[in-house]
Each structure stands twice: as structure tokens, then as C-alpha cells.
Chains A and B, each alone.
Chain A
Amino acid sequence: MFGPNLPLFPEQASTLAPRVDALLYFLLAVSAFFSLLISISIVVFAIKYRRRSDSERPPLILGSLGLEIFWTAVPLAITMVIFVWGAKLFFVSFYPPPNALEINVVAKQWMWKVQHPEGKSEIDELHIPAGQPVKLLLTSQDVIHDFFVPAFRVKKDVLPGRYTTLWFEASKPGTYHLFCAQYCGTQHSGMVGRIIVMEPPAYATWVGGGGTGGSTTAAGQKLFQTLGCATCHLPTDSGRGPSLVGLIGKTVALQNGRSITADENYLRESILEPRAKIVMGYQPIMPIFKGSVSEEGVLQIISYIKSLTPQAGAQGKK
């Protein structure tokens, strides 16, 4: 609208965007209605009932229970509609579909480091294919950041010490803004980048151009060997540590009687702070790897662990 120098509405570049905009339009309509209703009432009353003489005495009107109930119930009903609609949308944006392409992102003051599973890595840019759900696994090396792509209508805080996830499906090729949307220090407004959406064949060509370390999973497997994980974590449960095959998504029984679902955060904690949660039936003897492996390395190891499905040789790309 109004050309590139006075944009008034953001592009819709994801499958989610039109749905968010639909709720926005509803909210705009409700707001316009009530704003106009009140403003016009005020103007009309101020004119129609303007004071003509100092001696006039308006009638005694105390209130009306019926009106109070009416203008309580109607806003309540409207806000409930908004709540349910917004909650449903949120639910959709919260849980990625199972076939999403997983890409790891590590944020640090003041840049975005992107790691594609095939091995390619980027700084402040993210190439993705159109028409394919993409799930980002995000973590920060320092303070809280936030991954925000206005054209996709998605946003998620990126935290130190744990993972958050974000998913979207880009609907059309193009280049879109990436902003950090959680104040993170001096160059917060410089922590911007580009999301480059390509047609799937072009993307396949781009990503096949290979990174330096091979695929994320292969890099993870290498770390799994060199850090000595394989000596305790055997393919069966007979080792000093539990087997990691098929672990992701499984319910794990812990020593203190509680159980937990093994997600990426659990895996990360188990590598960096293994004594925090001990699996039932095992000894607290796992070395602490905090300081010995970078956030990128942890992500690679997790990618490898995810690939350990019960069917031998299968590469589980979630």
C-alpha cells in the first residue's frame, strides 16, 4: 500500500500469516466499532445536551441493571470469542508438524548462527525452501534474544541454558526481515538478518553445496565418539549408561521416582549437567561436559541421538 516508502501492512509470507491477519481484522472491526460508538456518543451527547443555562437541572437517572448486564455480557462474549480464536491459533503456532525440517540456531550478542542439518552454516541469514514446514531449535550463548520474522508472523524468545522452538511454513519465495525482538544489549538493533525463501529445487541446490563438516548428524556422531559417549552408552541397556536408541520422545523413569519426557532440553541438560537427573537404575558417574562442548556441538550430538532409531541404518530426520 502506498508504495515502498509508506508501507502500511506487512507481507503475508507464511501459512500462518493469513490466519493471524484474519484475527487482526476481527479485532480491528471490534475496536473500530466500539471506538466509534463511544466517540460518536460523546460528541452527540456533548452537543445535544450542552448547557444552555446555569439553572437547568438534569433528570435524576441512577442507572439501569438491565443495561449493566447487557454491556457486561456483550463485551464478555466478544472477548471470549477473541480468546478462543487466539488460543487456537497459538496452539497451531506452538507445536510443529512432524515432518518439519529441523534447523539449529544459536544466538549470541549480536548475531544469529544458523546450522543446517546437511552441514551448511550461515551467519545472520537463513535459507529455507518454500512450502515445507521448518522447525528451528533455538538457544542463546549469553542473554535472552528473540527470533522474529514479521512476514511469517512468528516470534519466540531465545534463552541461554535451554532450547526453545519455533516453526513456520513459508508460502512464497522472497527475502524477509529477521529481527531480534528482545532487548539484548548495545547492538540489539543491529542483530538483524534475512530469511531467504527459495523454491524447493533452488534450495536443494543451495543446501547441497555442502558445508565444512558434513551433515549435523555426522558431526554429532564424530563428537559422540571423540568425547567417549560411546564407551558407556551402548546400543543396548547393558552399558554403564542407558541406551540412547529411540530415546527422543520416550518417557524416562528417573531415580527420584519421577518420570520425564525426553525432549531436546532433557538431552542438553543430560550432557551438560548429568547429575541433575539420574535415570532409574544407573549410577551418577557420567562426566560433566559443561565447558567441554559448545552449544553447536550439543546440537550436533542431539541431532545424532535423534537419528538412533530402532531400525538400524535409518536416519530419523524429524
Chain B
Amino acid sequence: MNDSVPEHRLHYLNASYGLKSWLLTTDHKRIAWLYLISVTFFFFIGGFFATLLRIELLTPQGDLVQAETYNKLFTMHGVTMVFFFLIPSIPAVLGNFLIPLMIGARDLAFPRINLASWYLYIIGGLFTLTAAAAGGVDTGWTFYTPYSSIYSNSNVALTVIGIFVTGFSSILTGLNFIVTIHTMRAPGMTWFRLPLFVWSHYATSIIFILGTPVIAISLTLVALERLFGLGIFNPELGGDPLLFQHLFWFYSHPAVYIMILPGMGVISELIPCFSRKRIFGYNFVAFSSLAIAVLGFLVWGHHMFVSGQSIYAGMIFSFLSMLVAIPSAIKVFNWTATLYKGSVSLDAPMLYALGFIGLFTMGGLTGLFVAALGVDVHVHDTYFVIAHFHYIMVGSAVMAYLGGIHFWWPKMTGRRYPEVLARLAALIIFLGFNLTFFPQFILGYLGMPRRYHVYPPEFQALNVLSSAGASILAVGYVLPLIYLIWSLRYSPVAGMNPWKARGLEWQTPSPPPTDNFEVTPIVVQPAYAYDVLDEPEVIYAPEKAAHV
């Protein structure tokens, strides 16, 4: 394959020009860019809300904003980050771009549904932004009743409509991925030759399709209760507020696995490439993704240990929560073992991957603290929980996203990125992150509750440390925004496979042609065949030429 300058060759970016060719595209690669721009936008909006929160929390008193505003800020931060960044980011950006390439297909099974997914995401986002502009919502992203259904005076209905609509975006993406992976693999691409990135997105898609409808109906019931005074969750009218918690967490716990499984898939690609070694325990890593998806549906009650649910429910959920930790542990051990006797290169994506493993280990272990009944009674609804989930969502998921963006940037754009700056940004993010969130474990055990606008003065020192870390973290996030945009014009052109990586996506030019492969490849190697790096990964049979 040639390494010609992108501008002289027809590929998916220059195949057509104009706004319409982008807004009406059915090319999964262009749709991935539409998502990339939108999720970045929402990430910085959510980050802006967080910035205001951390500035307010520099002092024990409420001196930056009023209590009601603060409550709206943390709610909007949660809603934006969870539903409009974390859930879509890796699947809709990297998954959309890479899955057809990784399996040797020309596109996803349903390209127009893919575009519809993006529009649903945007419409949902517009509803939520409108709610924010109209004064925001102050229920917390968890919308507990009866506060959300009766007492709150904020824009609950608008926000839940936004989440409802965006939920369908997720459902359709999951549906598309499952059908594509089942039916459109290239010849020779058997299930157990699939990249683990594909396995993890398959597992994520199972959660998308089985879990998301439940939150759709839960939030619909809240909206109906608010608008028509139904009484389903209102104890005055015979309703039960705990029913909402069960319905809500039935989705929202699996949702956190939606947020981490794709990231784990990215790490499973980065580690073998940057150790030039087959992944250790492929089958175990693949099945652990499925195990997490299945077990993840059985543990929702661990958010409700002190809610007034029965002690036996608590015990069952605690037990199952311990079990769901095991597949994640298996992955961590397998990734680490892959490094052993490897040929390790610490490029920026690898720095993100190694940082992920460390931070995910810590985040996952602190999950045991909250899954343990006796300790959770103390740390539930405190900053301990906040620290725990940010270690996973920010320390792990966001780092995996950035690692993936850097790794596949040459493939997506045909350009490299500035390596020194990228490594520097990774380091700044790692340090800033730890300074922001580690003190919060201590704050939580000390007893500082979540969602507190003002706090007792003895908690100030740790809060100041946390806010200082957040300012460093912010710098770390802005850097890639700047240099990645800069790289589009000024970085050297990338060849087809600048990392000498395995994977079908590296067997086609950078950027790929619109139909991904000039000729449908036939896979002849197992996944991550780095031990035979000099042998070809695919062969081509003329009679199996792709439909032109």
C-alpha cells in the first residue's frame, strides 16, 4: 500500500465537500467525527460546571453562588457528563469509526440508523441545554422522588425529555453494533480472532439495548407524575418513592459498565501494540467483558443499602457486587502480564493506558469499600463515593478515551500529533487527577456528605487541595484540544501503519477510503499476532472483491 500524501488520494474526508455532505452522511467514519465534535462540546460544558463547583468549594461558606444555583450546577454537571459525554464517547466516536474497519466491513449494518442516532443525541442535547438555559434543574442526576416528582421547582420535565431522547441514540447504536458484529465480519474473522475492542463493544451494546429502555420508562413516569400529579411515587397518594430508586438504578448501574467497558476495550488494543506482544489470556479478557455485562444487571441495590430496603436484599446485592469485581480484576492482571517480556514503548497512548490500569485498580478496589455493607453505611452519599466513581469515570474512562483518540488519530486524520506535548499532557492529567480526587477519599471517610454547598471549616484544607488539582487537570484537558486541532494542518503526514500495529484498521490507508477497503480482506492471523509482526495479517482473493 502506498503512503502518498492524503490530499492527492481520494478518501473519506475529501470524497465530498460541504455541510450537507457531512450532516446527511451515512459514512460511519464521518458520523464518528460528528460525535467527536459534539461530545467534546458537552465535555467542556460539563467541565465548566465542575470548575464553578470546585471554585465554590475552596471556602466553607457559600460565597460564589447561591445554594439553589450550586444544586443546579452539580446536577447539570452530572447529567451532561454521564449522558452526553461518558456514555456516548468511546462507543459513538471510536466504536463507530473502528468497528467496521476492525472486522473488515464497508460500514455498519444500518448506516442511516447510525445517522439517526446522532440526530437523536443532538436533539436530546438541545432539550437539556434548553433546560439549563431556562434555569437548570436541581434534583441531582439521580432524580430521586418525591423531590423530583413533586417538590422541585426546576426544569425537570425538559431535562428528562432530553435524556429520554438521547437514550434512543444509545439503543440504536447498540443495536447497530450487535447486528454488525454478528453478520458482517470479513472472511477469516472468527469470533475469537476479533480484537478485544470489538468484544467489549459487543458487551456494552448488550447493556445499551437491555438497560436503556428501563431508564426511559422510569424518567417518563417521573415526568408524568410531575405533569399530571399521578401519585405513583408519592407516599401521600399511596405511592412508593423507593420504586423509583429500583427502576432508576436498574439501568444506571449497568450504565456505569457502559461507561467503562469500551475504555477497557481501548486498553486491550493499546497494551499489546505498545508491548509488541500478544495479549495474555485473550479468552479470559473476552469473556470477562460479557461477565461484567451480565453481572452488572444484578447489583443495582448496592446503591440502596441504607434506603430502607430489607436487610436480605442488601446482603444479596453486596454478595453479587463482590462477584462483579472479579472479571475486572482478571483484566487488570492480564494486561499487566502482557507487559512481561514485551517490547515496551512509552508513547502517549501507552502512557494513558498504563495510567488507566493504575487508576482503575484503585477505583475498582475502592468499589469494594462501598460494596461492603458495614463500611458503606458510613461512606454512602459522602465524598468517598464521589472519589470512587471519578477514579473510574475520569481516571479510567476519560484517559482511555484520550489514549484511543491519540492512538487512532493518524488513522482518522492521516496526520500524526506532537508526541512530546502529548506525553506532557498525559502526565499533567495523571497528576492533576490524583490531586483532585485522592483527598476526596479522606474527606468522605471524615464524613463530608455529597452535594454540599457549604461545609464545616475543618474540611477546608482537603477541599483546597482538591480544587488545586482540578485546575491542573483542566490545563491537561485543554492541551490536547489545542494541539490536536493544530496537528490537522501542521503535523507530519502519517502512513498506513505508523505504530506497526496489528488489526485490520491498519491494513488500509490513513485516512481510509469511504468504503474502508479497496478489496475485502481475508484474515489469516489470530488477534494481536505481534510475535509474527513481519508476516502479513491478511490476504486478498480477487474473486472476493468488495462491491464497488
* Residues of chain A whose beta carbon lies under 8 Å from any beta carbon of chain B: 4-10, 19-20, 23-24, 27, 30-31, 34-35, 38-39, 41-42, 45-46, 49-52, 54, 56-64, 67-68, 71-72, 75-76, 79-80, 82-83, 85-91, 93-94, 109, 142-144, 146, 148, 150-151, 153-157, 159-162, 164, 177, 179-190, 192, 273
Contact = CB atoms under 8 A, between A and B. Distances in A.
Interface in B94-145: 138-140, 144
Given A38-B358, A50-B344, A183 B454 contact: no
Contact of A42 (B336, B377, B458): B336
B461 A5 contact: yes
A183 B241 contact: no
Contacts of B284: 63, 68
B446 interface: yes
10 contacts: A5-B460, A24-B445, A79-B325, A79-B368, A94-B311, A109-B151, A150-B447, A179-B447, A180-B449, A183-B451
Closest 4 CB pairs of A and B: A161-B235, A150-B447, A89-B374, A86-B372
Nearest to B149: A143
A186 B71 contact: yes
Interface stretch (B16-24, B81-89, B214-222, B275-283): B275-283
Interface in B409-451: 442, 445-447, 449-451
B308 interface: yes
Contacts of B382: 181
A143 B447 contact: no
A183 B340 contact: no
Interface stretch (B36-44, B160-168, B313-321): B313-321
B408 interface: no
Contact of B276 (A51, A182, A187): A51
Contacts of A162: 235, 308
A10 B147 contact: no
A75 B325 contact: yes
Interface string B282-325: 11100000000000000000000111100100110011001101
B381 interface: yes
Contact of A189 (B67, B325, B365, B442): B67
B341 A10 contact: no
A64 B361 CA distance: 21
Q: Could you say which interface size class chain B belongs to?
A: 35 or more
A190 B381 CA distance: 16
Nearest to A78: B368
A60 B146 CA distance: 59
Contacts of B372: 23, 27, 82-83, 85-86
B458 A7 contact: yes
Given A58-B276, A87-B374, 12 more contacts: A23-B375, A42-B336, A60-B531, A61-B341, A76-B323, A76-B326, A93-B377, A144-B147, A146-B381, A154-B377, A182-B144, A188-B71
A83 B322 contact: yes
Contacts of A51: 276, 343-345
Contacts of A42: 336, 339, 354, 357-358
B337 interface: yes
B339 A155 contact: no
A76 B453 CA distance: 39
A178 B13 CA distance: 60
B446 A150 contact: yes
B369 to A, nearest CB: 5
Contact of B329 (A64, A75, A150, A185): A75
Given A56-B343, A90-B311, A160-B146, A179 B275 contact: no
A79 B373 CA distance: 12
A153 B377 contact: yes
A218 to B, nearest CB: 29
Nearest to A95: B311
Contacts of B460: 5
Given A30-B368, A49-B341, A188-B452, A58 B446 contact: no
Interface in B333-366: 333-334, 336-337, 339-346, 354, 357-358, 361-362, 365-366
B235 A63 contact: no
A71 B330 contact: yes
Contacts of A4: 458
A8, A51, A58 — most chain B CB neighbours (10 Å):
A58
B125 to A, nearest CB: 24
A93 B374 CA distance: 8
B322 A143 contact: no
A230 B537 CA distance: 88
A73 to B, nearest CB: 9
Given A82-B372, A162-B308, A20 B319 contact: no
Contacts of A75: 325-326, 329
Contact of A164 (B238, B308, B381): B308
A143 B151 contact: yes
A38 B338 CA distance: 12
A201 B455 CA distance: 33
Given A30-B368, A155-B380, A156-B308, A186 B337 contact: no
Nearest to B67: A186
A155 B460 CA distance: 23
A19 to B, nearest CB: 7
B281 A68 contact: yes
Nearest to B339: A45
B226 interface: no
B71 A49 contact: no
Nearest to B329: A75
